[in-house]
């Protein structure tokens, strides 16, 4: 079998440990406060010696965690700087990011193509990492397609880090109001809250407006108004931004679930290198947010893979899994593939990348290997012959295969070619895993005539396939 990326249990992330209620947290802190001062430094040194080779800036992380939990104490307690670090260490735990699986990759051209030999291409790949509790997050790898058409993935470095949340992200009032209307939060209370906000406002400004509304009446908010306020605040917190440090290697940057809608996972990110009307580039990724019960599609935006903006996707057509954005506008509008009915592929257009209202049926299951359902395997790829779309199909025994079809460049509602047989199906070495008999991808990359297709194996690991575009087109009907 060719190169395979397998889950690595040694790749661990330091995350907050929440042992229970504020009362229990306070009880644990009280026990740590009872440790004699003469023993504090030795205990802290032993912890740092045990874990500092696995995590950068570990003392800074201890201090940050202490600041987060100290409010659980009934009264402010003075303690030494070393004891503060020791307390922080009791409320952290290692999380093995990819202990269960490393799969469902997408791949795009890397923003930095400097220093490469002629004919080579540097790529950036996202993967779905799944760990304890089957919680999924996004991890990254980089690599190079050589002039000899070899695919070489750069080994990841050791330290894993979550980004810092941008403390005061900005919101466009018109878009925010539009989403509130969709949520049914459009009564007089909402109008009063929004009235005092600028056209572009911050999270802190929204907090101030909500608090002002709370005290505007002597009796405070009514129960209905409290529910409205919670909905407004939840929407704001679901649209957030994070920032990594520039010196962090790409493979060390982890996007872990951070909102209630993502509680149980950020799944199957489909990255696309999107060219704006002015020629600038934005990397978008549609992904599935999972809270343990519901799945909702959301959008990720970045220009440099250092600062990421998480945004809700809105409108009646923004639902179900598997939304994939075209890499440029078509006829002046954004275009997206989706699956509205759990079975077929639909085409959508919108004037705003965050709002999707209408859809039309594009493709139905047709061949024996896809009769249960079909969906896309990433964003369409522009070629001189048309938009190449990789698809997945589910057939007998719930076996997943990857196929392909071709759309007209100017009118993507026209299907002008389709593979009758799968492009890729699980072989004998790829059938076993967390979910048997599955090959699946969230995006491929075209370099010249060579299609580079990373794909998930049995929802466990990641393999790579390459094929010429000419061969795919020649096999299409």
In the structure encoding, which two tokens stand for residue 313, read together?
């996707």
Q: pLDDT tens for residues 208-267?
A: 999 888 777 777 788 888 889 988 998 898 889 999 999 999 999 999 999 888 989 999
pLDDT of 167 > 90? The answer is no
d(CA 297, CA 311): 10
DSSP letter, residue 186: -
d(CA 370, CA 367): 6
Q: Is the separation of the CB atoms in 442 and 433 below 8 Å?
A: no
pLDDT of 1 > 70? The answer is no
Considering Cα of 340, then 380, then 469, then 386, what sign does the dihedral take? positive
Q: Identify the architecture of domain 101-164+240-475 in CATH.
A: 5 Propeller (2.115)
pTM summary value: 0.92
Q: Strand, helix or coil at 454?
A: strand
The residue ranges of every structural domain in the chain are: 18-90, 101-164+240-475, 170-238
Q: Is the separation of the CB atoms in 347 and 412 below 8 Å?
A: yes
Q: pLDDT tens for residues 109-138?
A: 999 999 999 999 999 999 999 999 999 999
Q: Strand, helix or coil at 104?
A: strand
Q: Is the separation of the CB atoms in 470 and 446 below 8 Å?
A: no
d(CA 430, CA 109): 27
Neighbouring-strand partners of residue 108 = 124
d(CA 61, CA 59): 5
Mean pLDDT, residues 369-385: 98
Residue identified by tokens 């779309």 is 389
Give the chain's mean pLDDT: 94
């Amino acid at each position: 079998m060719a190169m395979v990326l397998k889950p690595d249990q040694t790749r661990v992330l330091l995350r907050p440990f929440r042992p229970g209620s504020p009362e229990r947290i306070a009880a644990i802190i009280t026990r740590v406060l009872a440790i004699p001062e003469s023993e504090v430094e030795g205990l802290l040194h032993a912890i740092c010696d045990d874990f500092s080779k696995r995590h950068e800036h570990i003392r800074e992380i201890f201090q940050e965690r202490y600041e987060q939990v100290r409010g659980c104490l009934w009264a402010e307690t003075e303690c030494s700087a070393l004891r503060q670090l020791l307390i922080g260490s009791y409320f952290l735990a290692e999380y093995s990011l990819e202990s269960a699986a490393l799969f469902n990759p997408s791949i795009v051209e890397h923003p930095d193509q400097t220093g490469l030999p002629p004919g080579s291409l540097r790529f950036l790949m996202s993967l779905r990492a799944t760990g304890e509790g089957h919680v999924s997050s996004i991890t990254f790898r980089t690599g190079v397609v050589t002039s000899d058409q070899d695919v070489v993935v750069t080994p990841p470095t050791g330290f894993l880090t979550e980004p810092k949340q941008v403390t005061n992200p900005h919101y466009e009032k018109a878009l925010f109001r539009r989403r509130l209307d969709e949520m049914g939060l459009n009564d007089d209370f909402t109008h009063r809250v929004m009235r005092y906000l600028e056209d572009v406002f911050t999270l802190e400004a929204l907090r101030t407006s909500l608090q002002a509304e709370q005290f505007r009446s002597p009796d405070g908010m009514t129960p209905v108004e409290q529910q409205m306020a919670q909905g407004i605040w939840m929407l704001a917190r679901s649209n957030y931004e994070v920032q990594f440090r520039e010196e962090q290697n790409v493979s060390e940057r982890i996007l872990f679930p951070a909102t209630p809608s993502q509680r149980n996972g950020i799944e199957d990110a489909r990255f696309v290198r999107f060219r704006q009307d002015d020629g600038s580039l934005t990397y978008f990724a549609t992904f599935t947010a999972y809270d343990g019960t519901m799945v909702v599609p959301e959008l990720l935006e970045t220009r440099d893979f250092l600062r990421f903006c998480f945004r809700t996707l809105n409108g009646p057509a923004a639902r179900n899994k598997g939304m994939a954005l075209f890499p440029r506008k078509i006829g002046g509008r954004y275009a997206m593939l989706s699956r509205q009915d759990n079975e077929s592929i639909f085409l959508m257009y919108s004037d705003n990348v965050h709002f999707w209202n209408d859809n039309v049926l594009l493709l139905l299951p047709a061949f024996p290997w896809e009769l249960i359902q079909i969906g896309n395997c990433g964003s369409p790829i522009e070629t001189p012959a048309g938009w190449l779309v990789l698809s997945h199909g589910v057939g007998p025994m719930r076996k997943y295969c990857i196929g392909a079809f071709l759309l007209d460049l100017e009118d993507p509602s026209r299907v002008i070619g389709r593979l009758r047989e799968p492009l890729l199906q699980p072989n004998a070495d790829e059938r076993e895993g967390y979910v048997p008999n599955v090959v699946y991808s969230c995006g491929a990359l075209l370099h010249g005539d060579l299609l580079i297709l990373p794909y998930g194996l049995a929802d466990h690991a990641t393999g790579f396939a390459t094929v010429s575009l000419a061969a795919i087109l020649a096999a299409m009907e």
